[in-house]
A = this chain, B = another copy of it.
């Protein structure tokens, strides 16, 4: 690795001049010709700054710690990390990922990240519940991803679950479904509450009442499948809003057993976690993708804006989510998710 010293020698100048020029602080301080010569020699010698040495001096490492819980077990965590990475990469930052599945691991990883001198933290809990921020993080720049904290002391971003439920249900109504069931989650998750509320509101807004017999909250187990079968038998819904792929699978399985074809006899809108169906059944299932990538991307941008003490560039949304056609629409449609940031609401822009 070439150092500034070597460049200084090769160009016959002092290190400070090299430093100034290579950091773009030379305007009006260094003779432009000299500056050019320095830039050239640096280029020629393939100079790469030693960021560690710089950090030692400046107390800024351009490293961000990403703390996550349950990365391995939640297949979509990768999206968040990649979103954060992409954003940071273009901002000249590096991502250090650790995982804090246990309380103990969490604290020890936080300490490790501090030893490495990260400039700030991204924290993702994945629990889909309101969480508590470790006190050891409280004094650092911090943004929560796909999570929220009670006191709202830190910026955070989450999908708008209400809107997911609202949009999905509206979609089914527009597709002409007369009896729309919600196949939800029997555990008290934030997503469940929000989506159910959205489902109900959409029904109301379209002049339909909420019929609790069409609400079917289940877990991931054997009885779940039987519950969905009972739903088919007693209520005969022709539209289904499914909490996730597992729930969608119950609907598919039951439909197949009943000789009903998805996309012809019934319509299904699911929220995407695993994508099995999106991969295999494009023409039949409408999938609402959760904006994990976008959340990671936004959170990273937000964090850096805090660190660098400048306003967040609002135009910084990457791509949006795509969905498959329902039975009434032969061509794909887009559904967007709203992201909530500490009370203020903004949409993901729909790219074409």
Contacts and interface: CB of A to CB of B under 8 A. Distances in A.
Contacts of A305: none
A194 to B, nearest CB: 22
Nearest to A293: B72
Interface in A224-263: 224-225, 245-246, 249-250, 252-253, 256-257, 259
A112 interface: yes
Nearest to A88: B98
Nearest to A112: B94
Interface string A68-82: 000111111111011
Contact of A220 (B83, B105, B279, B293): B279
Given A98-B95, A116-B51, A256-B256, A246 B79 contact: no
Contacts of A224: 280
A132 interface: no
A109 interface: yes
A333 interface: no
Contact of A52 (B78, B98, B116): B116
B222 A283 contact: yes
A267 interface: no
Nearest to A277: B249
Number of copies: 2
Contacts of A282: 221-222
B222 A75 contact: no
A345 interface: no
Contacts of A280: 220-221, 224-225, 246, 249-250
**Which of A81, A115, A249, A280 has its CB near the most chain B CB atoms (within 10 A)?**
A280
**Chain B CB within 10 Å — which of A86, A111, A114, A274 has the most?**
A274
Nearest to A274: B274
Contacts of A277: 249
A48 interface: yes
Interface string A41-83: 0000000111111011000010100000001111111110111
Contacts of A214: none
Contact of A50 (B79, B82, B115, B275): B115
Nearest to A75: B75
Given A52-B52, A225-B281, A257-B257, 7 more contacts: A52-B117, A71-B81, A72-B78, A89-B98, A89-B112, A224-B280, A249-B276
9 contacts: A48-B111, A71-B81, A85-B99, A94-B116, A95-B97, A96-B97, A249-B277, A257-B257, A274-B276
Interface of A: 1, 48-53, 55-56, 61, 63, 71-79, 81-83, 85-86, 89, 94-99, 105, 108-109, 111-117, 220-222, 224-225, 245-246, 249-250, 252-253, 256-257, 259, 274-277, 279-283, 293
Top-7 shortest CB links A-B = A75-B75, A256-B256, A72-B82, A274-B274, A71-B78, A246-B280, A72-B79
